[in-house]
Every structure is written in C-alpha cells, then in structure tokens.
Amino acid sequence: MQSTMVEYAKSLDEQDALGTYRNEFYIQPDIIYMDGNSLGLLSKRAEKSVLTLLDSWKQYGIDGWTQGEHPWFYFSETLSEMCAPLVGASKDEVIITGSTSANLHQLVASFYRPEGKRTKIIADELNFPSDLYAISSQLSLHGFTGDEHMKLVKSRDGYSLQEEDIINAMTNDVALIILPSVLYRSGQVLDIKMLTEAAHERNIMIGFDLCHSIGSVPHELDKWEVDFAFWCNYKHVNGGPGATGGLYVNRKHFGGKPGLAGWFGSDKEKQFDLSTQMIPATNAGAYQIGTPHIMSSSPLYGSLEMFAEVGIDAIREKSLKLTNYMMTLIEHELSEYNFVIANPRETEKRGGHIFLVHDEAARICKALKVQQVIPDFRSPNGIRLAPVALYNSFEDVWKTVQILKLIMKEQRYKKYENKRDVIA
C-alpha cells in the first residue's frame, strides 16, 4: 500500500504549500510534537513580538501606553482586528482580553437573565469541566444550584453529541445555552449554525466555547448570528502558556450593560475622565474588566501575522489532510492492537486532532514520550494526537504511527504505570 510508505509522506510534504511555515517555529531536534491542541509551539515571530513589547517597556516606561511600535492602550484592539477573521466577525465584535473562564463568567453574568420559569442553562456532559464550574458558580449567584438548573445534554456513546439531543433540551425553561464548538476529547465539530437557529426560534440566547476550534476550524459567527463566544489563544493560535484569551459579542447586543464592570470596559475616549459613573464602550470592548495583560498578549501579534498570511481556509484544508492521512495509517498499521478511532470520520464533523481510545492509553502515552513523540492523554483511556497545519509535516504523522506500532509490537508500554501524571 503506497500511502503507508515514508516516500509517500515525503511526497505530500513536497507538495505542501504551507510547508515553509514549519521553519517559522522552534521545533526541537528529534522531537515530534503532537500536542498543539493543548499548547502550540513558539514561533520566531511570536518571540520577536514579545521582545518588541518588552523593549517598549524598557524604552518608554509608562509612556509605552501611547508610544512605541504597538502602544499598549490600543494593543487589545489591534489584536482583535487581527483575530476577527478567525471567528468570522467584524473587528468591533471581538476583544482580546482575560482568560477562558474569566470571559465565560463575564458573558454569563451579562446574558443570563432568568425570568419566570426560564431559569436553566443548557450545557453538555462532555464539555471541559472548567466551563461547567463557571456556569455552576454563576447559577449560585442567583440562588440556584447546578444540579437543578444546569441541564447537561447526555452523550449516547461517551464521545460525541447529537445536535438532535441538544435541540430537544431547548425547552421553555431554558434561559441560556453554552456549548463547545469542538469537543475537547473526541474533536467533534458541532453544527453551530443549526444549533443557533434552533435556539433563536425558541427565543434562547446561545454562546460557544471556541477553545478547540479557533486557529484550526473556520467560523462564521456573524453569518450564523451567534450571540457570543469565548476562547483561549494558546492552543492552535500559538499564543503561549497563559496567553490572553478572547471573546466575541454580536453587535445586536451592543449598548447592553456588562455583567461585570471594570474600567477597561469604558469608552476609551472617556476612560481617563475617571468619572464615578462608568460609560461603557459601544462595542465588544465593553466586556473587558481590568488592565490588558500586555506581556501575555504580546506573542499573539507575531502569531496572528501568520494566520493573516495563510488564511484559515488553507489551514483547515491541510489540517484535514493530515488527520485523514493519520487515520489511514492507523487503520492499516495498528489494526491488530485494539485501538479505536473515536473522533468523527466525516471531514465536516472533525476538528484538528485524532482521538484514539485504548485500555492502556496512559502508559502508551508515557512510552510515546520516551520515544520523543509528544501526545496528550485524556482520562480514562484517550490519546489525543494533533498534527498542526503550520508546523507538523506528513512525515511527522508517518513517524508517529510507526513509533506507536513499535511500542505496541514490542509491548514497551508495559514498563510504565497505567495512570496519568500530575499533568496529563
């Protein structure tokens, strides 16, 4: 079978229009990095933008707020304009600010308006737990409990969600819906357009967590009329550990009062009037709370430059080719080792990573790391492998599967305990 030969992988790399971007990243010798859906690699451009912002502090001190190559007072807005194409929005509907959980708290505080019997929030049992913690916390501020007022849509198979089940949960006791765009374990892409239309037909506002889709999957939030969204920028966007997050608010909600007020949510022309009465910005900037995290935002400038050059559609095209190729190799090379491919096979339903299920997943991941392949373990039995379009090659994919085959054939995983480390 030609596709299982390394020469075939190399031929795909020779034809890859994005192949040169691999040189933009710091890739360690002999390491195959397959964990970009947890933390993207450092690019040389991101490093440069960090040093540029650091130099403005060194040169200008407090005057860095208005001077230098990237004045800090407007830096969040600069990044927002660069990021907006990744979510299909206009620049004034996006703001780079906060973290995933902080932004979720802000958005729930702003758009959860329980009234009468409409008191419940729809979420799902497969979502990253941090979102569920924040939703439960917000419910408690209204005197409600998560057990009674958070409606968790159940999975039929433990890996995926059915849009039909989500829509059936949209009953007349629901005030708000918060869902992931891509499920963090299985990589399933939800149909945002369908779900938003169904929610609005029932007069329910709906928002999405884009953490596992931004930078790997195109979005059309404006076109789909999504109410709000939020995300981190350290996975596929390669903004670095603890990178500043982002949020989107549809312009139809502009002029509303933010649930959590803070001075950087002020109209920028009036912010330094320091009035005792806040005058919020008339765009997504109103949902900022505190002073921008300039150093945590600085890598994003260099990273987003590359996204602007390449375009999210080209990234998605290569991402799908990489994951398709990986699935083909897994099915051919690992068929006797009891792996289950638990991510969706359909291209329109698959995000940027492969999800393998195996009873020995934790120890297999440890064995992969010893062989210098960096995977991601998800309890209880999942292995995530994310070939990232900007810096992974088809040969990386081929080598990963061959190393995995060697580990299974020689039972090297049996040297390790089948439980996760402190950080999985």
pLDDT in tens, 310-326: 999 999 999 999 999 99
Position 176 pLDDT exceeds 90 = yes
Cα radius of gyration (the chain): 22
Position 138 pLDDT exceeds 70 = yes
d(CA 256, CA 38): 34
253 and 107, same structural domain? yes
Average pLDDT over residues 218-226: 98
| pLDDT attached to residue 18 | 98
Query: Is there a domain that residue 99 lies in?
Result: yes
Query: Is there a domain that residue 220 lies in?
Result: yes
pLDDT band at 273 (very low <50, low <70, confident <90, very high): confident
331 and 273, same structural domain? no
20 and 95, same structural domain? no
| pLDDT attached to residue 267 | 84
190 burial level (CB within 10 Å; 0-12, 13-18, 19+): buried
Position 11 pLDDT exceeds 80 = yes
Position 169 pLDDT exceeds 90 = yes
Position 268 pLDDT exceeds 90 = no
Can you say which residues are annotated as belonging to the binding site for pyridoxal 5'-phosphate?
100-101, 128-131, 209, 212, 234, 263, 291
Query: Is there a domain that residue 90 lies in?
Result: yes
Q: Is the dihedral of CA 220, 226, 228, 231 positive or negative?
A: negative
Query: Is there a domain that residue 420 lies in?
Result: no
Mean pLDDT over each residue of the chain, to the nearest integer: 96
Can you say which residues are annotated as belonging to the binding site?
100-101, 128-131, 209, 212, 234, 263, 291
Position 292 pLDDT exceeds 90 = yes
Position 424 pLDDT exceeds 70 = no
Query: Is there a domain that residue 327 lies in?
Result: yes
| pLDDT attached to residue 211 | 98
Query: Is there a domain that residue 95 lies in?
Result: yes
* Percent of the chain's residues with pLDDT above 90: 92
* Residues shown for the chain: 424
Counted domains in the chain = 2
User: Are the C-beta atoms of 131 and 182 separated by less than 8 Å?
Assistant: no
d(CA 47, CA 301): 10
pTM to 2 decimals? Answer: 0.96
Average pLDDT over residues 271-296: 92
273 and 243, same structural domain? yes
149 and 92, same structural domain? yes
Given 278, 309, 340, the domain boundary residue is: 309
Domain residues for 66? Answer: 48-309
Partners of 355 in beta bridges: 384
How far are the Cα atoms of 8, 267, 271 from residue 277, in angstroms, in the given order?
65, 12, 10
pLDDT band at 274 (very low <50, low <70, confident <90, very high): confident
| pLDDT attached to residue 3 | 79
358 and 230, same structural domain? no
d(CA 97, CA 122): 25
Assigned token pair, 277: 């009465």
Query: Is there a domain that residue 39 lies in?
Result: no
Given 253, 277, 309, the domain boundary residue is: 309
Query: Is there a domain that residue 218 lies in?
Result: yes
Assigned token pair, 130: 């941090």
